[in-house]
Structure 1
Amino acid sequence: MNGGLVRLREILDDITPSERKVAEYIISYPHRVLEMSVAQLSGESGGSQAAIIRLCKSMGIKGYSELKLKVAGDLNQNEERYEYREIRSNDSIERIINTVSANNIQSIRDTVTILDPDTVERAVDALSKAKRIYFYGLGASNLIAQDAQHKFLRINKTSHSFTDPHLELSSAVMLSRDDVAVGVSYSGETSHVIECLKEARLCGAKTISITKYGNNSVASNADYPLYTSSTENAIRSGAMSSRMTQLNVIDILYLAVASREYDKSVLYLEKSRDIINRMTGR
């Protein structure tokens, strides 16, 4: 059980000032917190005891004991955590290669600590049973939706994604109980994706979200909210490591669905590969 420190870093900008005092203290002094009661942490951090309880709720965990267990799990990991770095003016090509690659790798590692296996399994169950799967996303997240459609079609799962936001909304109101809608939005506040999941739920479809960790509108409209971790700074407005973590989650879902009917999936993949090879002359 780990991921406590990652969760705290992810929600820092979305919690109250009192909660933030507590969160920043835990991030700065994680070893000390393991020996502290709620009252002691309140006194040391400057946050109220009520703020500590609210912070646990904001993290999506049951209480202070679980928070300490997750922090302890982080500290027990052998590998040292890499700290994200920003690209600077006139950086060398070598530094840019190393920085971008290390940021992406750490984002995926952090995402692993906050992905809930039970929620992933329920999402995979829904996708496996779905008659149709619709992937919704705008901007960079639409590229994730297109990638997902491509993957699932190749194992004979009827899938759709749209570059036109109006088509996304139009399709969402046509879903049924046999369908699944997947909303992709790093911020979790993309209005079109929110509306698509709302409409899909009204139609009885199962809904899955892929967003950053924490409370957000897209996740609140999902039956199975899945969370990713990354840093999105000003110079990285093109959604770099967030895109990598979203693609990683799609790959997890895709391979988990494929493994449910492994022999059939292999057959479908071979058929699609053969026709593509024939058409391209390979």
Structure 2
Amino acid sequence: MRARVRGLGSSLTRSMRSVAEAVVQDPAGCAQLTVTALAERTGTSEATVVRTARLLGYPGYRDLRLALAALAAQQESGAAPAVTVDIAVDDPLADVVAKLAQEEAQTLADTAAGLDLNQLAAAVAALAAARRIDIYGIGASALVGQDLAQKLLRIGLIAHAHSDPHLAVTNAVQLRPGDVAVAITHSGSTGDVIEPLRTAFERGATTIALTGRPGGTSRPKAGGAPVTRYADHVLATSAARETELRPAAMSSRTSQLLVVDCLFVAVAQQTYERAAPALAASYEALAHRHSAR
């Protein structure tokens, strides 16, 4: 929850930030409050409380209260404590390794906890049945896109990753119903990723967005990132915590790769009769190539 609020940054208005900070600082207390009581406690309105809940990735305030109750119980039991560690310039190498490992583990835990399984299942079903899959990503997200494309290719799906914005749009124009387009952007506002996804959406392809700014869970995504406007399914990744020696791209990539692995394994399960022989063939081909050297 704290990581999600931190990642939203300037997306929150002053009044919405008051609500967000209240639920982060006292999840147990806020879980007991009605929407009216929380609005009074934070000096905001009921509408602001509901908008904040949606921006945090929950369909409504009731869902936020349930999540707060679960978080409070987790904190009380001492399970999975939040880790907030910064790396200093003079940290010994052993401390750097330990701190990075803790942060990576927290990022994965936050992503798993915030992943909407209904959205994930819908995305998996679309990918498993797709005639063709296009994946868009820029920078660090392009590396994640390539990873997803390679995984899907190895189980017999036609998947291509595009990091060149011109080629991405050119390919998106060719999509049609039955095809799938996947946009990967942590900020949710990368124009070079949004444009091909919009094109694919308008062509009737099923569209999926992986983003750290999910907003609501149904279109139109009220308060969500621009990429969600053209996404049939939205998969939320953990908000990245950027420090001087650890760019946001590092933690955002970690969370994106977890979602990619979830997609791949679930698609392989659904298409096992086709996926298993395809995987075996790819292993055999690679083994033959290495032995021939």
Mapping of residues 76-95 of structure 1, within 5 Å: 76-77=73-74, 78=77, 79-95=79-95
Residue from 264, 280, 285 that aligns with 1:275: 285
Given residue 280 of structure 1, which amino acid in structure 2 is its aligned partner? H
Counterpart for residue 106 of structure 1 = 106
Return closer, same or farther for 1:134/1:114 CA change in 2, 3 Å cut-off: same
Q: Which runs of 5+ in 1 are unaligned?
A: none
Superposition deviation, residue 8 in structure 1:
4.0
TM-score when normalising by structure 2: 0.89
1:157 aligns with 2:157: yes
Given residue 230 of structure 2, which amino acid in structure 1 is its aligned partner? N
Counterpart for residue 26 of structure 2 = 29
1:254 aligns with 2:254: no
Superposition deviation, residue 62 in structure 1:
4.1
Residue from 233, 239, 246 that aligns with 1:230: 239
Superposition deviation, residue 153 in structure 1:
0.5
Superposition deviation, residue 147 in structure 1:
0.7
Superposition deviation, residue 20 in structure 1:
0.8
Per-residue CA deviation, residues 46-83 of structure 1 (Å, 9 max, x unaligned), is 33333223222323434333221110011223413222
> What secondary structure is seen at the aligned counterpart in 2 of 1:135?
strand
Counterpart for residue 244 of structure 1 = 254
Distance 1:254 1:139 in 2: 21
Structure 2 contact 185–211 (Cα < 8 Å) conserved: yes
Structure 2 contact 6–239 (Cα < 8 Å) conserved: no
Return closer, same or farther for 1:62/1:261 CA change in 2, 3 Å cut-off: closer
Counterpart for residue 192 of structure 1 = 192
Counterpart for residue 38 of structure 2 = 41
Return closer, same or farther for 1:63/1:135 CA change in 2, 3 Å cut-off: closer
Q: Which runs of 5+ in 2 are unaligned?
A: 216-223
Superposition deviation, residue 6 in structure 1:
5.4
> What secondary structure is seen at the aligned counterpart in 2 of 1:229?
coil
Distance 1:62 1:268 in 2: 39
Superposition deviation, residue 85 in structure 1:
2.0
Given residue 239 of structure 1, which amino acid in structure 2 is its aligned partner? A
TM-score when normalising by structure 1: 0.92
Per-residue CA deviation, residues 252-275 of structure 1 (Å, 9 max, x unaligned), is 111111101223312111110111
Distance 1:261 1:171 in 2: 25
Distance 1:160 1:11 in 2: 30
> What secondary structure is seen at the aligned counterpart in 2 of 1:128?
helix
Structure 2 contact 131–158 (Cα < 8 Å) conserved: yes
Structure 2 contact 185–193 (Cα < 8 Å) conserved: yes
Distance 1:243 1:28 in 2: 27
Superposition deviation, residue 234 in structure 1:
4.5
Counterpart for residue 142 of structure 2 = 142
Structure 1 contact 206–223 (Cα < 8 Å) conserved: yes
Distance 1:164 1:52 in 2: 40
Given residue 121 of structure 1, which amino acid in structure 2 is its aligned partner? A
| Percent identity (aligned) | 35
Return closer, same or farther for 1:130/1:160 CA change in 2, 3 Å cut-off: same
Distance 2:84 2:2 in 1: 14
Superposition deviation, residue 5 in structure 1:
5.5
Counterpart for residue 119 of structure 1 = 119
RMSD (Å), alpha carbons: 1.9
1:54 aligns with 2:36: no
Given residue 70 of structure 2, which amino acid in structure 1 is its aligned partner? G
Between 267-276 and 44-53, the greater mean CA deviation after superposition: 44-53
Given residue 173 of structure 1, which amino acid in structure 2 is its aligned partner? V
Per-residue CA deviation, residues 191-242 of structure 1 (Å, 9 max, x unaligned), is 1110010000111111101010331111221111111003241533361111
> What secondary structure is seen at the aligned counterpart in 1 of 2:249?
coil
Counterpart for residue 128 of structure 1 = 128
Between 256-265 and 143-152, the greater mean CA deviation after superposition: 256-265
Structure 1 contact 133–158 (Cα < 8 Å) conserved: yes
